[in-house]
Structure 1
Amino acid sequence: MSEQCAMKQIPVIKHVRAFTLRGGGADYHDQADGHWIDDHIATPMSKYPAYRQSRRSFGINVLGTLVVEVEDSAGNVGFAVTTGGEPAAFIVEHHLARFVEGARVCDIERIWDQMYHGTLFYGRKGLVLNAISGVDLALWDLLGKVRQEPVYQLLGGAVRDELQFYATGARPDLAREMGFIGGKMPLHHGPAEGEDGLQKNLALLASMRERVGPDFWLMVDCWMSLDLNYAIRLAQAAQQYGLKWIEEALPPDDYWGYAALRQQLPPGMLCTTGEHEATRWGFRMLLEMGCCDIIQPDVGWCGGITELLKISALADAHQALVIPHGSSVYSYHFVATRHNSPFAEFLMMAPQADQVVPMFSPQLLHEPVPENGRMPVSRLDRPGFGVELNPACALHRPYLHTPGG
């Protein structure tokens, strides 16, 4: 790749900038009152009654959105949005920038390796990987703009002409009417709510199965909230409702629990997880220990496109599907290029999950959305990721650094 850079006089990266934004968008939990995504959803904090009704009550939205911009010597600007807010902005400006500025636009692999190993003493997962992911996605966006190609073409080209989607939200029955191939609903009651909570969970599943009919995919997202015994009980009791999968039932580090859960699921029910996992090493644990049938990395959290490619190759060797968590255009460009990613997730960000709206609204312009649960790959045919930052959004740059310093 370096020889190609020299031959084509690929520009050098001059500036990296990190901004924060509040209110929806990449930090999709940062919503106003009355949104389904904050309505008594089971979480690891549900064991405390004071933090049970609202996820915002324990601070799920405190970080806000991180916006990363990278500008090259020719004036091209690539950008990306993810979560991480001000702490991630500090990491980008005061640590990661040194690995980016002065590099050529196409040196993405080397930049990623230096960002990861340069932060190894305090990083590896979580907030640091969010920051690395934001920089990596901005670099792919910039490279696409320099080469005037969409990212999916940079990744080797599409393997299908159309993407198909399942919907995540409170109303799978409405998702069915909108043409999605399936609906994934949040689990509302965790183990601390006892037998009564379990029966309420099952009653909602029964009601939704009746509404969507026997053939529509129906899934449940447990958001790390269960213990192994409860997860097994829930899955076995829900067998009669034909769940396609049970998602992220346990804390992300409980690889042993996931392996045991997968072995005890009813026949035909899949075990999925990985939304809060990061890097090829984390996913290697999930895959080699037989923890799940589908991995669900978030491209804005797992290490960006550069690392997602490695994760996907590892999953392919283990005959596991890769269905990225949400992340809109950042995952659509990836899914279009992978045989082991046959469909994608669409997060229903309408407060009542009753209409299709852009996931990262109002932060992105030109963000494509499915129509009747599908999207032609040609909708992605714009340079980079094909979206622009909405100039109406009030960006805040909390930290400054001297380029090259």
Structure 2
Amino acid sequence: MALPKIKYVRAFTATGGGADYHDQTGAHWIDDHIATPMSRYPEYRESRRSFGINVLGTLVVEIEADDGTIGFAVTTGGEPACYIVEKHLARFLEGRNPADYEKIWDQMYFSTQYYGRKGLVVNAISGVDLALWDLLGKLRGEPVHQLLGGPVRDELQFYATGARPDVAKELGFIGGKMPLHHGPAEGLEGLHKNVAMLADMRAKVGDDFWLMYDCWMALDVDYATRLAIACHEHGLKWLEEAISPDDYWGYAELKRNVPKGMLVTTGEHEATRWGFRMLLEMDCCDIIQPDVGWCGGVTELLKISALADAKGKMVVPHGSSVYSYHFVITRHNSPFAEFLMMHPGPTEVVPMFAPQLLGEPVPVNGRIKASQLDKPGFGVELNRDVPLNRPYTH
């Protein structure tokens, strides 16, 4: 059956949580004193918003077909990404068959390679790609996971990212990943505080609950190694994104350095099959963590996952709500998923990308049934009550 052609591509910005989940107001665990690459500067140590982590806002991409069906997606990128989508990428979609996602992705990526390859440009490409998959699912009346081959299990199970793994355990999650609070600039005292925080949480959750540390690119190899060794006796499951995402050599060294049984994970800020090929071939980590809204979209995530599968590595995407759920449920090498606890406490389970998505499923007892993902496309709708701004047209 012939599909209607793509008629319009539109790009909007939105602010206030949602895809740009750091864009919070008031007290929130995600904006606490958390180790970052900017923690070396005391003036940017107490708040991640202070150095501009939330300046871009959300990118909303809509792709409308000739019959009026609209696919959409949200990711980060804000106004600069809108410009890229409207002024550059739209030409590769309008008038095309929405099933031609391979050709469309290839043209978007290689036409922007001279100023793109990673970061903001690939975020924009990811948003377009996700909206395209949403449109394709709606046109075919199928959920995206069915387009990817269908579920390989009946439910998703989750670990929770947030400041309260003890609460996450009570809520039924399989593990809790905490933000690391103190970086190398805070010296030995900071290191001891990091270890003490893990020890305290281990005492609260018992021996069998997973505990992990998210280091958000804040450390160097020496500090990360000392932290891993000091945390080993408290059962740290993995050390995540400990150093700069560009330092593949450092990751390979860190993986050799950590105690046996502890995992090194990274990839949240990596992009495309070529970036992940470096991580995999240089044996930089045990688990790769691509964000489907940043790494190139579903089209590229399939290639990244195949590379990892061939290397015997797990793919556990960075928390991206339904956009990763539809992928994880179809892959044996993605045995569990991440859930970002976006409650300020965090002491409750709330939708991850609120207020921008309507109908977003959330874990109950740390799980989501595959049947909850059975609506066409990604199964969510755009909240039209959220103010959208279209800064550019074409």
Give the TM-score normalised by the residue count of structure 1.
0.97
Aligned to 1:121: 114
Deviation at 1:237, TM superposition (A): 0.4
Aligned to 1:3: none
Output one character per residue of 1:72-123: Cα deviation in whole Å (capped at 9) or x when no partner.
Answer: 1111100000000000000000000000111111111110000000000000
**Equivalent in 299, 312, 324 of residue 319 of structure 1:** 312
- Kindly report which structure 2 residues correspond to 1:248-327, keeping only aligned pairs within 5 A, or say none: 248-327=241-320
Aligned to 1:146: 139
Q: 4+ residue stretches of structure 1 with deviation over 4 A?
A: none
CA distance in 2, matches of 1:100, 1:146: 16
CA distance in 1, matches of 2:191, 2:277: 32
CA distance in 1, matches of 2:339, 2:2: 39
CA distance in 2, matches of 1:226, 1:37: 18
2:332 is the alignment partner of 1:339: yes
Deviation at 1:69, TM superposition (A): 0.1
Deviation at 1:188, TM superposition (A): 0.2
2:174 is the alignment partner of 1:181: yes
Q: Which secondary structure does the structure 2 equivalent of 1:163 belong to?
A: strand
**Equivalent in 134, 150, 157 of residue 164 of structure 1:** 157
Matched letter for residue 280 of structure 1: R
CA distance in 1, matches of 2:214, 2:197: 13
CA distance in 2, matches of 1:349, 1:143: 29
CA distance in 2, matches of 1:371, 1:287: 34
Give the paired residue count.
394
Output one character per residue of 1:347-372: Cα deviation in whole Å (capped at 9) or x when no partner.
Answer: 00000010000000010000000000
- Kindly report which structure 2 residues correspond to 1:242-253, keeping only aligned pairs within 5 A, or say none: 242-253=235-246
Aligned to 1:37: 30
2:9 is the alignment partner of 1:16: yes
Deviation at 1:285, TM superposition (A): 0.2
Aligned to 1:366: 359
Deviation at 1:276, TM superposition (A): 0.1
Matched letter for residue 23 of structure 1: G
Aligned to 1:76: 69
CA distance in 2, matches of 1:44, 1:241: 25
Aligned to 1:60: 53
Matched letter for residue 212 of structure 1: V
CA distance in 1, matches of 2:215, 2:141: 41
Q: Which secondary structure does the structure 2 equivalent of 1:244 belong to?
A: strand
CA distance in 2, matches of 1:386, 1:371: 18
Give the TM-score normalised by the residue count of structure 2.
1.00
Matched letter for residue 199 of structure 1: H
CA distance in 2, matches of 1:239, 1:400: 54
Aligned to 2:231: 238
Q: Which secondary structure does the structure 2 equivalent of 1:109 belong to?
A: helix
- Kindly report which structure 2 residues correspond to 1:386-401, keeping only aligned pairs within 5 A, or say none: 386-401=379-394
Aligned to 1:196: 189
Deviation at 1:391, TM superposition (A): 1.2
Across the aligned residues of Structure 1 and Structure 2, the Cα RMSD in angstroms comes to: 0.4
Matched letter for residue 64 of structure 1: G
Aligned to 1:101: 94
CA distance in 2, matches of 1:115, 1:380: 28
CA distance in 1, matches of 2:383, 2:178: 30
Deviation at 1:267, TM superposition (A): 1.1
Deviation at 1:161, TM superposition (A): 0.5
Deviation at 1:9, TM superposition (A): 1.6
Structure 2: segments with no counterpart, 5+ residues: none
Report sequence identity in percent. Answer: 75
**Equivalent in 377, 385, 400 of residue 378 of structure 2:** 385
Matched letter for residue 145 of structure 1: K
CA distance in 1, matches of 2:297, 2:86: 18
CA distance in 2, matches of 1:33, 1:269: 35
CA distance in 1, matches of 2:218, 2:190: 13
Output one character per residue of 1:274-323: Cα deviation in whole Å (capped at 9) or x when no partner.
Answer: 00000000000000000000000000000000000000000000100000
Aligned to 1:89: 82
**Equivalent in 16, 22, 44 of residue 51 of structure 1:** 44
